[in-house]
C-alpha cells in the first residue's frame, strides 16, 4: 500500500486537518515552487499551519506516466494538498488526474504560468495562454474523470498578448459551461523569450488592479491572487477584493509567517504556532526518513529561515548548512542547531 493510498484514516485526516469552514480551499496557499516545495518542505509547513493549501512542485504528465520514481508520493499529514500538473495532452492529464484522485489529493491544478524554455518546448506552462481552447479541453478531460476540484494557475498575459481583453477572453473560454470555476492569477505577464524564469518573477510589473477587475468581471468564479506578496497584512488587503491569496518565495524564505496564518486569516481563536515546537514536531518524521535513506540536509534545507529575525538565527542556519549534509548526520545536528535560538 502506498504511504498515501486513501483509507478511512486518510479521509479522517483530510476532514480534521484544517478548519477552513466557509472559506474556499484556496483562501491562502503556498505556491508550487520547483526544487523547493517538495514533500519534506510541505510536511514542515504543515507543522506551522493546518489551513493553508499546499501545492506540490509542478510535475509533468510524462514523469508520472513514464518516470521510474513515485512522483505522487506525499504524507497524509500534508492535507489539504494540491497536485500541480504540467502538460497539454488532455488524455495524459486525465490519466494523471485520475491517479492523483486515487492517491487522495484534494485538488488538481494545471500550470499555465511557467515561462521557462524547457516548459515551452514541452508545450505547457505560460505558452498555453495563447491556446485557451486547448486549456479548456485539458480541464474538461480532467473534470470528466475526477470529483475533486480542477483549477488553473495562469498569468495576466504573455509577450505582446497582454491586453485586458486577451485575459478576459482566456478566462471566458476556459471557464465556459462551468468548465473551470477556480483560477489563481499571477499578477504579472510572462515574457516567453528574453527573460529567465527568475526575471519573469521580478521584471514584468505587478498589476494588482487588473486582477481585481478580473474578479469583478467574473464574480461567479473563485479567484486567488499571486505575485510579490510578502506579508499577511498584504494578504488581508488583497482579500478585500479576491477570494484567495497565494504566497511563494516569502513563505519559503521566511516560513515563520505561516505560523500566523490560521489565527489571522481563518479563525482568531486558533493559536499562533510556535516555531521551536514546529521544529521538534519534525523529529519523528525525520527519524523515519533517515531510516529510509533520506539525507538530513534534504529535509532541513527547508527549515533554515524559520527563525528569521530571532537572536541566534544566523548560527542556526550556519550549523545546519555546514553539518546537515555530512555523512551520517542525524537528529543531533538539529538539536545542537536549536540550542542557538533556545539558549539565549
pLDDT digits (tens, 9 = 90+) for 302-333: 999 999 999 999 999 999 999 999 999 999 99
Given a cut of 70, is residue 12 above it in pLDDT?
Answer: no
What is the spatial distance between Cα 231 and Cα 245, in angstroms, rounded to a whole number?
Answer: 11
What is the spatial distance between Cα 272 and Cα 258, in angstroms, rounded to a whole number?
Answer: 9
Instruction: Using DSSP bridges, classify how beta strands 53-55 and 222-226 pair: parallel, antiparallel or unpaired.
Output: unpaired
Structural domains in the chain, CATH included, are 28-266 (3.20.20.70), 275-343 (no CATH)
Instruction: Read off the C-alpha cell for 158.
Output: 504573455
- Is 114 labeled as catalytic in the residue annotation? yes
Q: Which of 41, 96, 114, 138 is catalytic?
A: 114
pLDDT of residue 120: 66
More confident residue, 31 or 342: 31
Given a cut of 60, is residue 223 above it in pLDDT?
Answer: yes
Reduced to 3 states, what is the DSSP secondary structure of residue 165?
helix
- Residue 124 — very low, low, confident or very high, per pLDDT cuts 50/70/90? confident
CA distances from 175 to 34, 151, 167, 179, 230 (A): 27, 10, 12, 5, 29
Cell 469583478 locates to 216
Average pLDDT, the chain: 92
Numbered residues of the known binding site? 32-34, 84, 153, 186, 226-228, 248-249
What is the Cα 134 distance to its own chain's centre? 24
Q: How many residues are recorded in the chain? A: 344
What is the spatial distance between Cα 50 and Cα 229, in angstroms, rounded to a whole number?
Answer: 20
Q: Is the Cβ–Cβ distance between 18 and 42 less than 8 Å?
A: no
pLDDT of residue 249: 95
pLDDT of residue 2: 43
Given a cut of 90, is residue 199 above it in pLDDT?
Answer: no
Q: Averaged over 182-205, what is the pLDDT?
A: 89
Numbered residues of the known binding site for FMN? 32-34, 84, 153, 186, 226-228, 248-249
Residue 33 — φ and ψ, nearest 5°?
-135, 115
pLDDT of residue 58: 96
By CB atoms closer than 10 A (0-12, 13-18, 19+), residue 225 is buried
Structure confidence by residue, pLDDT tens digits, 133-143: 999 999 999 99
Structure confidence by residue, pLDDT tens digits, 42-90: 999 999 999 999 999 999 999 999 999 999 999 999 999 999 999 999 9
Reduced to 3 states, what is the DSSP secondary structure of residue 108?
strand
Sign of the torsion angle spanned by Cα atoms 209, 215, 216, 218: positive
pLDDT of residue 15: 36
C-alpha angle 112-213-226 in degrees, rounded to nearest 5: 40
pLDDT of residue 45: 98
Given a cut of 60, is residue 19 above it in pLDDT?
Answer: no
Cα atoms in the Cβ-side hemisphere of radius 13 Å centred on 108: 33
- Residue 195 — very low, low, confident or very high, per pLDDT cuts 50/70/90? confident
Say whether the peptide bond before residue 73 is cis (omega within 30 degrees of 0).
Answer: no
Q: Is the pTM of this model over 0.95?
A: no
Amino acid at each position: 500500500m502506498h504511504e498515501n493510498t486513501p483509507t478511512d484514516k486518510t479521509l479522517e485526516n483530510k476532514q480534521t486537518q484544517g478548519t477552513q469552514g466557509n472559506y474556499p480551499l484556496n483562501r491562502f496557499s503556498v505556491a508550487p515552487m520547483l526544487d523547493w516545495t517538495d514533500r519534506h518542505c510541505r510536511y514542515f509547513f504543515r507543522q506551522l499551519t493546518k489551513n493553508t493549501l499546499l501545492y506540490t512542485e509542478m510535475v509533468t504528465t510524462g514523469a508520472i506516466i513514464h518516470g521510474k520514481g513515485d512522483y505522487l508520493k506525499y504524507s497524509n499529514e500534508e492535507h489539504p494538498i494540491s497536485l500541480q500538473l504540467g502538460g497539454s495532452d488532455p488524455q495524459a492529464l486525465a490519466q494523471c488526474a485520475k491517479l492523483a484522485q486515487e492517491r487522495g489529493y484534494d485538488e488538481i491544478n494545471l500550470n499555465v504560468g511557467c515561462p521557462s524554455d524547457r516548459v515551452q518546448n514541452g508545450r505547457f506552462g505560460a505558452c498555453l495562454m495563447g491556446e485557451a481552447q486547448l486549456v479548456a479541453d485539458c480541464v474538461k478531460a480532467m473534470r470528466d474523470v475526477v470529483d475533486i476540484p480542477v483549477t488553473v494557475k495562469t498569468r495576466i498575459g504573455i509577450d505582446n498578448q497582454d491586453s485586458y481583453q486577451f485575459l478576459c477572453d482566456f478566462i471566458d473560454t476556459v471557464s465556459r459551461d462551468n468548465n473551470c470555476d477556480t483560477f489563481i492569477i499571477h499578477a504579472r505577464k510572462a515574457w516567453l523569450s528574453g527573460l529567465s524564469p527568475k526575471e519573469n518573477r521580478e521584471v514584468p510589473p505587478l498589476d494588482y488592479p487588473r486582477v481585481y477587475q478580473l474578479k469583478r468581471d467574473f464574480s461567479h468564479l473563485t479567484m486567488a491572487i499571486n505575485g510579490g506578496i510578502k506579508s499577511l497584512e498584504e494578504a488581508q488587503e488583497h482579500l478585500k477584493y479576491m477570494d484567495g491569496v497565494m504566497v511563494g518565495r516569502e513563505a519559503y524564505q521566511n516560513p515563520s509567517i505561516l505560523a500566523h496564518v490560521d489565527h489571522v486569516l481563518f479563525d482568531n481563536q486558533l493559536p499562533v504556532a510556535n516555531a521551536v515546537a514546529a521544529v521538534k514536531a519534525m523529529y519523528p518524521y525525520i527519524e523515519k526518513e533517515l531510516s529510509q535513506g533520506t539525507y538530513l540536509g534534504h529535509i532541513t534545507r527547508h527549515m533554515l529561515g524559520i527563525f528569521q529575525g530571532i537572536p541566534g538565527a544566523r548560527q542556526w542556519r550556519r550549523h545546519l548548512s555546514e553539518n546537515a549534509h555530512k555523512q551520517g548526520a542525524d537528529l543531533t545536528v538539529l538539536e545542537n542547531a536549536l540550542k542557538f535560538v533556545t539558549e539565549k
